[in-house]
Amino acid sequence: GINYTWPELYDSPAFARLKSRIVELSRLYLKRSGYADVPQKFRVFVWVEVFDKGDALRPGSRVDGAYVAGRYFPSVEQGSIKFNFEDPRGINPPFGKTYSHAPYEGNLVLHPVWNSYFVTPNMKNIPAISYSFLVYPPEGNTRNFQD
């Protein structure tokens, strides 16, 4: 197995602030999306993805009980990648559109977990870095969380 421990990240005050901000924005997102009973506590699973020149992420979605998914882009050169969302209604007109978002440094994007998304190939020589995350109810998924 691969050792996924990373105490320099998980124990840092900056990471604690990021998780706190994710929880704060997720709560607001859920309220604005019509959730009536937004819990006071969440389980947040975060991982880092680095996109070197030519790296991309194929279309996918998640359906494992999370409330919301998202990405925080701490380091990304303008125009290097696009974070795209596919129309969940299918490919036939008048649907089938793809919404394309150009992330920028410091950008945090929330989206429904069920919506298909992908990242276009990095067109620059500088890596694009994102902290991807899933926000679960307090009793939600029990992967290797850093509670």
Beta bridge partners of residue 48, listed in sequence order: 131
How far is it, in rounded angstroms, from Cα 103 to Cα 51?
Answer: 13
* CA atoms lying within 13 Å on the CB side of residue 46: 22
* CA atoms lying within 13 Å on the CB side of residue 71: 23
**What is this structure's pTM?**
0.90
Share of the chain above pLDDT 70, in %: 96
How far is it, in rounded angstroms, from Cα 122 to Cα 55?
Answer: 6
Question: What does the H/E/C string look like for 34-99?
Answer: CCCCCCCCCEEEEEEEEECECCCEEEECCCCCCCEEEEEEEECCCCCCCEEEECCCCCCCCCCCEE
> Which pLDDT band holds residue 34 (cuts at 50, 70, 90)?
very high
Q: For 11-22, what is each residue's pLDDT tens digit?
A: 999 999 999 999
> Which pLDDT band holds residue 44 (cuts at 50, 70, 90)?
very high
Q: For 50-90, what is each residue's pLDDT tens digit?
A: 999 999 999 999 888 899 999 999 999 999 999 999 998 88
What is the token pair recorded at 68?
Answer: 């919301």
Average pLDDT of every residue of the chain = 92
Is the Cβ–Cβ distance between 113 and 23 less than 8 Å? no
- What is the structure's pLDDT at 143? 65
Has residue 144 got a pLDDT over 70? Answer: no
